[in-house]
Structure 1
Amino acid sequence: MAEITLLRHGQASFGQANYDQLSELGHQQAFWLGQHLRGLGQSYDRIVIGSMVRHRETAQGLIEGLEAKVPFEVHAGLNEYDFQGLLVPLKAQFPTEWQDTGHAKRDYYHNMKLALGYWMSGEIADDGNDSWQSFCERIQQGFEFSYKTDAKRTLVVSSGGPISVILGQIWGLDHPRTCNLTLQIKNSSTSKLLYNRKDFTVDSFNDVSHLLSADKQDAITFS
């Protein structure tokens, strides 16, 4: 039985010019996770990451906390969609549905959920690179690269979109439920899969045990 652990990156730089880098808190989340896993005696045979900066920084922070030496293998198929590439056509094509109340995070989640739904239905053709279908196909390629191996314990560092696609396929979810799943996945959370070389079982989902002590609960974030 093999274990594949899906890790969403730590908090990125929401609202900054360059989103694709961890915030100070995001670095801390990754390090705390590594420390937590070291305390549990966890180790990995492989670490596979997307090619985004926030994926690599998360993996580096985790490895530092884990006090381990495991080289990273990179597969760009595990990269996130371009959220601006979905929000821009949403505003242009569906202006009456666009929300701008001045509450940045609330407005973002409202608009992002709409954009994802229209992308999944094909009413938004692509994010500038991928249609919904081609996005799912490349995620599957990245996932297969991660699990089609003899490794017993593999860590996959990616983003909320790819992780929700992987889980959605295992659970047989339709598009609306996959969309909802995407927006639930917390920063630095892990979801563990068990793989018997034929089928997958979801052993845990959206686990943030490393942030559940009284002094860290304010560090639980979604964006």
Structure 2
Amino acid sequence: MATIYLIRHGQASFGAADYDKLSELGERQAKALGTYLARQGIKLDAAYSGDLLRQRKTAELALASQPQKVNHRIDSRFNEIRNEEQIEHLLPQLMERDPALRALVDKGLADSKTYQKVIEAVFNYWVSPACKEPAIQSWEDYATAARDALQELMSEQGAGKTIAVFSSGGTIATLVAQVLGLGGEHTYKFYEPIFNCSVTQLFYSRDRVSLSYFNDRSFLQIMGNELGENLVSYR
């Protein structure tokens, strides 16, 4: 059996002018991930990531601890869901229908908990048959692209390989739901709880793929205790 590690990027810079940049904590998480992989003797044959800076930087910092140089391929199909695009086009529609959501938005989206509630509402509408907004990428197009990217990776790499995919919460959630045979209406259940720099393991043989474990961040807890700091974060 071959192995794929789906890895969420380290903490990004929420609230900063440039969100698509690892925070100082995010960089430490990525380095801790690299140390963990090296300690466990996990030698990667190849790595993939989306083209977002936070994904590429997490890969760079983690791969630095590998005993040999790892070929790192960029595939934009592993990018995050286009949250800003969805908020721009779908949130106004939802606010017209939901006074409670409007009140929440009117208070501002400065804190991550409020922002996450908005993401939940927008995401679940986006994946529903009711969403017909032509100005944004459709759920079907996005989910198909993510599925195809994973299938092509498996075909290209073949048997017996150990691969890392550095991606984001929404994309990892989508891939996990697909592996489990679940549709878009179930995907957010995997999206919300994903920790920064957590690891999800898949096994594959030819075109068959199965879930081994999901959203493991125990190594961050252990290494944080060793360093006397908290390395665990959601947002």
TM-score (norm 1): 0.92
| One-letter identity of the residue aligned with 1:106 | K
Contact 2:6–2:164 (CA under 8 A) maintained in structure 1: yes
Q: 2:158 aligns with which of 150, 154, 160?
A: 150
1:22/1:199 CA distance change after superposition, 3 Å: same
Aligned to 1:29: 29
Aligned ranges 1:122-201 → 2 under 5 Å:
122-125=129-132, 129-148=136-155, 149-150=157-158, 152-201=161-210
Answer yes or no: is the 8 Å Cα contact 1:59–1:157 preserved in 2: yes
Structure 1 distance, partners of 2:130, 2:93, is 9
The one-letter code matched in structure 2 to 1:194 is: F
Percent identical among aligned pairs is: 30
How far did 1:203 drift?
1.2
Secondary structure of 1:30's aligned partner: helix
**Does structure 1 conserve the Cα–Cα contact (< 8 Å) formed by 2:44 and 2:66?**
no
Aligned 1:1-223 pairs, distance under 5 A? 1-95=1-95, 96=99, 97-98=101-102, 99-100=104-105, 101=107, 104-125=111-132, 129-148=136-155, 149-150=157-158, 152-213=161-222, 214=225, 215=227, 218-223=230-235
Q: Is the 8 A contact 1:170 1:200 kept in 2?
A: yes
Q: Which protein is bigger by CA-based radius of gyration?
A: 2
DSSP 3-state at the match of 1:26? helix
Gaps of 5+ in 2: none
Secondary structure of the structure 1 residue equivalent to 2:203: strand
1:81–1:127: 8 Å Cα contact kept in structure 2? no
Q: Which moved more, 1:91-100 or 1:12-21?
A: 91-100
Contact residue 86 and residue 126 of structure 1 kept, 8 A: no
**Aligned residues of 2:94 and 2:122 also touching (Cα < 8 A):** no
How far did residue 129 of structure 1 move?
Answer: 4.3
Query: Counterparts of 1:127 and 1:29 in 2: how far apart (Å)?
Result: 38
TM-score, scaled relative to structure 2: 0.87
CA contact (8 A) 2:151 2:207 kept: no
Give, in whole Å, the separation in 1 of the partners of 2:165 and 2:114. 30
2:58·2:166 contact (CA, 8 Å) conserved in 1? yes
**1:43/1:153 contact within 8 Å kept:** yes
- Opposite residue 175 of structure 1, the aligned amino acid is G
1:195 partner amino acid: Y
Aligned residues: CA RMSD: 2.0
Q: In the alignment, residue 204 of structure 1 is paired with which amino acid?
A: Y
Letter in 2 for 1:35: T
> Alignment partner of 1:121: what SS?
coil
How many aligned positions are there?
223
